[in-house]
Amino acid sequence: MMNTNNDATRENSDIDGHDDRDVVLCECFARDGLQHESAIVPTATKVDLVRRFAELGFARVEATSYSNPKVIPQFADASELLRELPRRPGVFYKATCANVRAVERALADVEAGFGANEISLLVSATDTHSLKNLARTRSDQWLNIADMASAAAERFRLIGTISMAFGCPFEGAVNLDSVLTDVGRFRDAGVRYVTLGDTTGTATPRVAADLFRRMRAAYPDVTPIAHFHDTRGTGLVNYVAALDAGVTHFDCAIGGVGGHPTKVKYGGGHTGNVSSEDLIDLFENMGVSTGIDMDALLETVELCEAALGRQLHGRVSRSGLNPLRLEH
């Protein structure tokens, strides 16, 4: 049953330095969202959007990726974008890093006086996806993770990300005990935030709640982050299940964009993230404070649609915010 008093989200009244919110949301439009796009979005547009995400109240913003520009040209401007971003107290700008070279680039930008203050270290729950997405086996990538965490030298907040944590389109079901072992490996590497990624939208609420409860019990000093995709329309219910299991950190993307890199297909149909505007509207109407400026939210959705030149997938952007939210 849903915890309507939100006790599970109030274990720490000061969540990542924001004591006026119950949950911390990470806006992923500019990275996970744009990796799916074949058309290159201008750097100035990205900078404007990331700045707006921070102004909206997102405490975490996935800004870019230090990926190989030959593989994902969308992020060839990673350093240029980060150089232009105005810093805001209490806001973490995340950059994704797939290897040691990427971490070295992140460190070089920090030494130059700009850059990300949070980096994501990637691993896959299955070998087949690891080879397709990272060009490494899982065992090789874990050796890579150790080198990356060491190279980061405590200059960033480290986020461990486990892709395909709830199932893989190439290998099928994933052993949940193996996923928990991976959480422990991240912890042993000094990582205290770990994202469980439902990369292709195969999770169900019961499995999601069970895995997050087990993770919190086994590693109470690791902050779990939920990252669900809405491939089969189950994203919102999985987030509510994770919330009820005590999770306070969630990823989302305005317009439900993203899914997979343009050169690595995980399946057909809609593969995107859960729409930020839909998740925020739901949480706020449940009495869960997100800290997001609701009045400016839909205007930002319009700017994201303009940047991509099409209508996106969010429901709230079409129907409007729930008119009863103040009563709720």
Query: Quick check: 13 and 24 in contact, CB under 8 A?
Result: no
Host H or E run for residue 170: none
Q: What is the mean pLDDT of residues 17-46?
A: 93
Give the β-pairing of 193-198 and 157-163: parallel
Q: For position 262, what pLDDT does the model report?
A: 64
How far apart CA 146 and CA 190 sit, in angstroms, is 9
The torsion region of residue 225 among left (phi > 0), alpha (psi -120 to 50) and beta comes to beta
For residue 127, give both structure tokens.
């070998």
So where are the chain's domains? 19-319
Cα torsion angle, 156, 159, 160, 162, sign: negative
**pTM of the full structure:** 0.93
CA 102, chain centre distance (Å): 18
Q: In the prediction, which pLDDT does 263 show?
A: 61
Percent of the chain with pLDDT over 90: 82
Each residue's pLDDT tens digit, 68-116: 998 889 999 999 999 999 889 999 999 999 899 999 999 999 999 999 9
CB-side exposure of 178: number of CA atoms within 13 Å?
A: 16
CA 262, 235, 42, 110 dihedral sign is negative
pLDDT over 70 (residue 13): no
Is a pLDDT exceeding 70 seen at residue 290?
Answer: yes
**Choices 3.40.50.300, 3.40.50.620, 3.30.420.40, 3.20.20.70: CATH for 19-319:** 3.20.20.70
Per-chain mean pLDDT for the chain: 92
Q: Which of 248, 287, 292, 246 is nearest to 5 (CA)?
A: 287
Nearest to 269 by CA among 230, 305, 234, 309: 230
Per-residue pLDDT tens over the stretch 149-199 = 999 978 999 999 999 999 998 999 999 999 999 999 999 999 999 999 999
| pLDDT value of position 277 | 98
Q: Report whether pLDDT(269) > 90.
A: no
pLDDT (average), residues 311-324:
94
pLDDT score recorded for residue 26: 98
